[in-house]
Amino acid sequence: MKITCLSALLATSTALFTACNSDSTATKQKAAAQTASAAQRVYVAPGKLDDYYAFLSGGQSGGVFVYGIPSCRFIKEIAVFEPRAGLGYANNPGSESYLRLKESGPMWGDTHHPVLSQTNGRYDGRWLWINDKANGRVARISLRTFETAVIRKVPNIQGAHGLDAWLPSCKYVYVNGELEHDFVQNGTDPQQYRSVIAFLDSESLETKFEVMIVGNADIASSGKDGRYVFSTMYNTENAVTSEGMIERDKDAVAAIDVPLAEKAVAEGKFTRINGVPVVKPDEVPGVLTLIPVPKNPHGCNVTPDGNYVMASGKLSPTVTIIDAHSLKVVAEPEVGLGPLHTTFDNRGNAYTSLFIDSQIVKWNIQKAIKGDPTYIVDRVDVHYNVGHTKAAGSDTSYPSGDWLISLNKLSKGMYLPVGPAMPESQELIDISGEKMRVIAAFPSLSEPHDAVFLSRQVLADKVVQTYEITPTATKLGEEKLVRNGTQVDVYMTCIRSKFVPEQFEVHSGDRVTIHLTNVETVRDMTHGFALAEHGINIAVDPGQTQVVPFTAGAPGTYWYYCTWFCSALHLEMRGRMLVKPIGATVSDSIAPPTLEKTQGGPKQDKVSYE
């Protein structure tokens, strides 16, 4: 009845409204007021900026989605593991982004865990790391440009799942190998399967060392004091079937003593496997501690003060609270069915996502530790089957305690039906008060697993207006064609509303490379370059140079044109590649044709308007 009333108020449908008459006017007014104030909470007027950038992993989309919070407006997709013509990313063989992605593995990915860089316990707005679970890769995105800067395959890892930065320094990012495999012995004997937790230089993403584990590592969260990092393990059985993986009553949270691992590497106590120093815990006592927790835990989250690790029970209706320094279990409060991930505010509360109950439960950490039965503060229904949940700043030492996002796996009837597959759904929850309040829901492409929020103040002045001009950029007035046998390099510029050159000549079968620099100096003036019949379409942002190699096709005229609507003369922003038969005379000149030729023919004497 409550829902019907709400729809009646929104839709002002007489029929529905009549159906609600049993409810009091006061209830209706209250509902209307709540709806109105919820709308106000998320309303960001056109031209006004949101308070937060929310980075949502794109799951099978292979990238990262940027949303404005609280408006829930979709702002941008950052392409990482999958090409995007519209973003000028990795779709053109030969471009830097293409080569970087290609070199690291397949041209697609499965992104789960976005992680922001920190300095002194706060987000610093430098970098965002993201994993590719499917192909064992990690990428670093520069937040100056919101572009992928580095992608690396991590040796000895299948299923790069949990990801976090080692705090407080962010010297390493570490990534969990979720899928045990045979990199040690190279066979198919499951007894020999192992996995690793890999420590990567946080800037270059080069793997510095790994710690071997028996079983797997799922979700990651770093301690805050430069000592331990934590990972949940659901397959301590080292089993290869679903039944086998739930055999034991207990699994574990793994704690790795990072300074001790570093020391072992420095002292040569490791085995080099596929080029990487791998530390084996039985050779370095203390490097790995397994803390028993109820079977098959999932989320792993360290509290903002760095004192506790929360292992969310998944199969157990509990969250295990572990002292992050002594590694002892201090409490195991029941929270509800299917606890997956836990996040924090700035007032000592934890918020745990309950997959089976489709709820977020808010509970007080100290009360739970002290055994005070009133530790549950509030519950709120979400729609439906929540996976990750994240409160603003929860991974830092200074959470802000205002907003929480619930990343729901199913949206069922929440949006217009668009076929059997429905969009993913996120809900924005106001956590500033004692009671949580679901304020808004917004759909997204498949499928965000996790999210992080960054305050606008941190980033606003760090994002650059244009790309830095590279040494290899083509400068305005220095455009040229360089022919070397069948290799032809065309150094081209573009600026509203012209390519220079607007024509060049090659032979059929020539290897042509266009070095195209967008010489615009103002933000947002992106141009495109699509070349007919040659399978090429790229975007070039202000200051950026894109390199476009291809083989010239059959003799003929091929237009290239700008694909981004940039000016009133956008349609006129085009030029010709003139392909001559092999052996024919070609000109190296890129000068525009004489006026006479410019006009082409046959000419129309006049244009008739009848």
Site residues, ligand CUK (CB under 6 A): 112-113, 161, 219, 298, 340, 387-388, 449-450
Among 139, 452, 566, 579, binds ligand CUA (CB under 6 A): 566
Q: Indicate which of ligand CUA, ligand CUK, Ca ion, none lies near residue 208 (CB less than 5 to 8 Å, by partner kind).
A: none
Task: Collect contacts of 423-429 with beta carbons under 8 A, ≥24 apart.
Answer: 424/59, 424/448, 425/383, 426/56, 426/67, 426/72, 426/451, 427/382, 427/383, 428/42, 428/69, 428/70, 428/72, 428/403, 428/404, 429/360, 429/380, 429/382, 429/403, 429/404, 429/405
Name every residue whose Cβ is closer than 8 Å to that of residue 156 and which is 6 or more positions away in sequence.
177, 183, 196, 198, 210, 273, 274, 276, 278
Following DSSP, what letter does each residue of 280-298 receive, concatenated? -TTTSTTSEEEEEEESS--
Min CB(318)–Ca ion separation in Å: 15
> Which CB sits closer to Ca ion, 218 or 395?
218
**570 near ligand CUA, judged by CB under 6 A:** yes
Residues 61/78, Cβ–Cβ less than 8 Å: no
CA atoms within 13 A on the CB side of 476: 10
* 516: contact with ligand CUA by CB under 6 A: no
Binding mask 461-500 for ligand CUA (x = CB under 6 A): ------------------------------------x---
Q: Which two tokens stand for residue 404?
A: 């929480």
Secondary structure class of 161 (helix, strand, coil)? strand
The encoded tokens of residue 235 equal 């397959």
Q: x/- site string to Ca ion, residues 258 to 297, per CB under 5 A?
A: -------------------------------------xx-
Report the distance separating Cα 409 and Cα 383, nearest Å.
8
In the complex, the smallest distance separating the C-beta of residue 340 from ligand CUK, rounded to whole angstroms, is 6
Q: Which two tokens stand for residue 583?
A: 């052996």
Among positions 77, 132, 164, 251, the unique one binding Ca ion when judged by CB under 5 A:
251
Binding status of residue 97 toward Ca ion by CB under 5 A:
no
Q: Give the residue among 96, 59, 66 at the shortest CA–CA distance from 81.
A: 59
> 251 is in the binding site of which of Ca ion, ligand CUA, ligand CUK, none (Cβ under 5 to 8 A by kind)?
Ca ion
β-bridge pairing 511-518 and 195-201 = unpaired
Taking the complex as a whole, the smallest distance from the CB of residue 419 to ligand CUA amounts, in Å, to 34
Instruction: Label residue 597 exposed, middle or buried (CB < 10 Å: 0-12, 13-18, 19+).
Output: exposed
Could you give the 3-state DSSP secondary structure of residue 130?
strand
Q: Which stretch binds ligand CUA (CB under 6 A): 86-94, 311-319, 441-449, 560-568?
A: 560-568
Residue 565 engages ligand CUA in binding (rule: CB under 6 A)? yes
To the nearest whole angstrom, how small is the minimum distance from the Cβ of residue 133 to ligand CUK? 6
For residue 590, state whether it binds ligand CUA (rule: CB under 6 A). no
Residues 392-431 that bind ligand CUA (CB under 6 A): none
Q: Which of 139, 219, 562, 579 binds ligand CUA (CB under 6 A)?
A: 562
List of residues contacting Ca ion (CB under 5 A): 245, 251, 295-296
Q: Which residues bind ligand CUA (CB under 6 A)?
A: 497, 527, 562, 564-566, 570, 573
